[in-house]
Amino acid sequence: MTQLPIIERAIAHGQRTAIRSATGVHVYRDLIAASETIATTLLDGKDDLQEMRIAYLAPAGERYVGAQWGIWRAGGVAVPLGLAATAKELEYVLTDSQAETVIVASELADKVALMCDRLGIRIVSTGDRPSTPTTTLPEVATDRRAMILYTSGTTSEPKGVVTTHDCIQAQIESLTEAWCWRQDDRIPLFLPLHHIHGIVNIMSCALWSGAEVEAFPRFDLDAVGRRVADGAYTVFMAVPTIYVKLIEWLESLPLAQREPIVEGFAAMRLMVSGSAALPASVHETWTELTGQRLLERYGMTEIGMALSNPYDGERRPGAVGRPLPGVEVRLQADSGEPVADEGVVGEIQVRGPGVFGEYWNRAEATSASFTDGWFRTGDMAVIEAGYFRIMGRRSVDIIKSGGYKLSALEIEACLLDHPVIAQCAVVGVPDEKWGETVATAVVLTSDSFLDLESLRTWCEGRISPYKIPRKLLVVDELPRNAMGKVKKLAVLQLFGGIEVGP
C-alpha cells in the first residue's frame, strides 16, 4: 500500500525517538500506531473520508501528531484548533470549515463538548478505539487537500487557508534543505500548533527528518532554560517576544546560573526568529549574550516560508534574506510593474509549489490575492545588497504622512532603543493635515515615565523629523494574537477619540 510521504518516512524512522513530552518518550512507531487507530476510528466503516474536514484540539505532543496524521491517513482535511481560543473563536472555525468531527484530548473536552452537541458535530477522543475494524486505510493522493489553517485575523475576519499534501511537502523540503535539518537534531516545541510556525517549521520539519521534538504545553522560562543548560537541543526556533523574555531573564540571573544556559544556547547549530519583526537591538544583544547570530526568515500562512537569511553566510539584522529553495519572490510597484532597482519599495509577491491553492469557500478573496499566478502578500519590502528587508504591511505598517511612505517597523526599531521603552507599536492615525500622523503605543520598563515631548526630543537625530511620533500612548500591554504578533488594528482603536500630545 502506498502511504503519504510523511508517513512513509516515519515508518522508516522506526524506533528512533520522535516526541518527548510530559507523558513520556514516544518513538516514530508509536506515532504510526496512534495515527492508524485515529484513522480507523474516524472512518467507522467508511472507505475514505473524501476530504471531510476534521478539527482537532490536543496539546503539543504525541496525541497532536497522532490526530493530525490519523486525519490524513483516513483521507480527511485537518483543521487544528487553538488551545487558547475563546468559545466564539472555536465556533467560528468549526462552522466556517464545516467540520463534521472534532478530535479532542480528554482534558480539553469541556472546551468543545456543549458546542459540538449544539452544532451537531461528532466528538472523538484521542484515546478512543475503533468500533468498526478497518483492515485497509485508503490510499490518499498527494494533490488532495490536507489542512486548513486560519489566518490570524489581525487585519480582517479570519480566512481558512487550504493547503494540499504536495504543498506542505514542498514547504518542508524547502526548509530542510535550506536549514540543513538532520536526523540527530533535537528541538523544543512551545509555539501554538494552529499556526504554520509550530506545525511546519518545527514539528513537521523535525519529524520529516527523523529528529526529536520535546513538546511543552507553553513557553516556560525555567523549564526550557534547564533543558538548554543540559545541552538538550541542537535547534531552537521562537518568536521575537520570547527572545526578549530570554534576554531579560538571563540578565537577571546570577552569573553561576546564567553560564550553563548561555553555554547551552551557544552550542546549538541553529537559532531562528520569525513570525514578527526582530528589532536589530535584540539581534545584537542576543549575539553578545550567547554568541549566536539569529537567523531571521519571512513567511506567512498562505505561502509557508519564502525568504531566509542563509544557514551559512551573513545574517543581517533587520533583513530576511533571499528566496528559499523552490520559491520565487518578486517585488511589484503600485503601478503594477516589477521593481527592478534596489532600495525601491514594492509589494512582496510569491510563486512556487509551497503556495496555497485557495481560501476555503472564498473564491473572490482567492482570486483577488493572485496576480498572474503570483500571490500578493500585502507586505512591502526593499532589496538592499541582495537581501530583502520588510517595510511593513501595505495596509497597517506603511504610513502615508505628508506625501511620505513611512515604515512603521523602521520607526519601531528606533523606538525600541529608547532606555525606558520595553515594547512599542507604531500606527498611522488619520489626520486632516497630514493624511496620517505617526502614533505609538508603548509599554515602559518598570517604574519608568515617558511623555511625548521627551520622546520627540530623544528621537531627534535618530530618525528623520517626519518619522518622529506625534502621538504617544503609554499602556500596560500591547494587544497581541496567539503568535505574539501585535494586532495593529486594535492599537489603532486605542487612539480612537484620545488626544495625546500636541
- Per-residue pLDDT of 242-291, as tens digits, reads 998 999 999 999 999 999 999 999 999 999 998 877 888 889 999 999 99
Share of the chain above pLDDT 70, in %: 96
Q: Does residue 283 share a domain with residue 367?
A: yes
| Residue 251 CB-density burial (10 A; 0-12 exposed, 13-18 middle, 19+ buried) | exposed
Domain-located, residue 172: no
Element housing 13 (H / E): helix 5-13
Residues 271 and 344 in one domain: yes
Instruction: Count how many domains the chain has.
Output: 3
How many other C-beta atoms are found inside a 10 Å radius of the C-beta of residue 110? 9
Do 287 and 254 fall into the same domain?
yes
Q: Residue 453 corresponds to which amino acid?
A: E
Give residue-wise pLDDT tens across range 202-248: 999 999 999 999 999 999 999 999 999 999 999 999 988 899 899 99
CATH code for position 133: 3.40.50.980
- Check: CB of residue 456 under 8 Å from CB of residue 469: yes
Grid coordinates given for 378: 500585502
Cell numbers describing residue 62: 504525541
Task: With cut-offs at 50, 70 and 90, classify the pLDDT of residue 154.
Answer: very low
Contacting residues for 262 by C-beta, under 8 A, at least 6 apart: 250, 289, 290
**Reported confidence tier of residue 134, pLDDT bands at 50, 70, 90:** low
CA 434 to chain centre: 34
Specify if 84 maps to a domain: yes
| Mean per-residue pLDDT, 460-489 | 88
> What span, in angstroms and rounded, lies between the C-alpha atoms of 174 and 325?
5
Region 369-393 average pLDDT: 92
pLDDT value of residue 432: 66
Closest to 272 (Cα-Cα) out of 172, 211, 202, 194: 202
Q: Based on the fold, state whether residues 433 and 372 are members of the same structural domain.
A: no
Torsion from C-alpha of 52, 57, 58, 59, nearest 10 degrees: 140
Is the model more confident about 396 or about 137? 137
Answer yes or no: do 97 and 129 share one domain. yes
Distance CA 24, CA 161 (A): 33
Please give the residue range of the domain that contains residue 307.
Answer: 186-393
Q: Looking at residue 51, what is its pLDDT?
A: 98
In terms of domains, do 382 and 236 share one? yes
> Average pLDDT, whole number, for the chain?
92
User: Residue 127 — pLDDT band, cuts 50, 70, 90?
Assistant: confident
Confidence of residue 403 (pLDDT cuts 50, 70, 90): low
pLDDT of 489 reads 85
More confident residue, 210 or 497: 210
Q: Please check whether residues 357 and 372 belong to one and the same domain.
A: yes
CA 445 to each of CA 20, 453, 474: distance values in angstroms, whole numbers, following the listed order: 36, 18, 11
Position 170 in a domain: no
What does the pLDDT average to over 394-401? 78
What are the tens digits of pLDDT across the range 5-43?
A: 999 999 999 999 999 999 999 999 999 999 999 999 999
- 308 domain residue, yes or no: yes
Model confidence pLDDT, tens digit, residues 103-122: 999 999 999 999 999 999 99
Tell whether the model's pLDDT for residue 369 goes beyond 50: yes
In a domain, 381, yes or no: yes
The DSSP code for 123 is: E
476 vs 404, higher pLDDT: 476
Q: Crossing angle, helix 28-43 and helix 62-73, to 10 degrees? A: 50
Instruction: Tell me, yes or no, whether 180 lies in a domain.
Output: no
**pLDDT band at residue 156 using 50, 70 and 90 as cut-offs:** low
Instruction: Please state, in angstroms and rounded to a whole number, the distance separating the CA atoms of residues 203 and 211.
Output: 9
Residue 152: what pLDDT?
A: 59
> What percentage of the chain reaches a pLDDT higher than 90?
75
State the pLDDT at residue 89: 85
Query: How is residue 36 annotated by DSSP?
Result: H
- Same domain, yes or no: 247 and 356: yes
Do 304 and 344 sit in the same domain of this protein? yes
Residues with Cβ within 8 Å of residue 382, at least 6 apart in sequence: 331, 342, 343, 344, 345, 346, 388, 389, 391
pLDDT band, very low/low/confident/very high, at 499 (cuts 50, 70, 90): very low
Q: Assess contact for 438 and 401: CB atoms under 8 A.
A: yes
For residue 135, pLDDT beyond 70: no
Q: 391 pLDDT exceeds 50? A: yes
**Among residues 358, 393, 428, which one ends one of the domains?**
393
| Residues 118 and 94: beta-carbon distance below 8 Å | no
Is position 136 within any domain? yes
User: Is the predicted pLDDT of residue 302 greater than 60, yes or no?
Assistant: yes
Answer yes or no: do 379 and 252 share one domain.
yes
Please say if the pLDDT value at position 343 is more than 50. Answer: yes
pLDDT at 128: 81
340 — pLDDT class (breaks 50, 70, 90): confident
CATH code of the domain containing 475: 3.30.300.30
> b/e per residue, 145-162, with b = 16+ CB within 10 A?
bbbbbbbbebeeebbbbb
Q: What confidence category does residue 502 fall into, taking pLDDT thresholds of 50, 70 and 90?
A: very low
Q: Which of 361, 377, 393 is the last residue of a domain?
A: 393
Distance CA 452, CA 466 (A): 15
Q: Tell me the C-alpha to C-alpha distance, in Å, between residue 202 and each of 160, 205, 214.
A: 21, 6, 10
Q: Are residues 314 and 222 in the same domain?
A: yes
84 within 8 A of 192, measured Cβ to Cβ: yes
φ, ψ at 433 (rounded to 5°): -85, -45
pLDDT at 219: 94
Q: Which of 173-182, 338-347, 399-408 has the lowest mean pLDDT?
A: 399-408
Which helix (H) or strand (E) segment holds residue 404: the answer is strand 404-407
In CATH, what number is assigned to the domain containing residue 205?
3.40.50.12780
Judge if 196 and 319 occupy the same domain. yes
How far apart, in Å, are the Cα atoms of 399 and each of 240, 320, 494? Answer: 23, 21, 17
Dist CA 195 CA 213 (whole Å):
17
C-alpha dihedral sign at 104, 110, 113, 118? negative
Give the per-residue pLDDT at 497.
Answer: 44
Expressed in percent and rounded to 5, the helix, strand and coil fractions of the chain are 35, 25, 40
**Prediction pTM value:** 0.84
Q: How confident is the model at residue 386 (pLDDT cuts 50, 70, 90)?
A: very high
All cell numbers assigned to 337:
510593474
Domain membership of residue 201 (yes or no) is: yes
Whether 336 shows a pLDDT value over 90: the answer reads no
Q: Which of 336, 362, 393 is the last residue of a domain?
A: 393
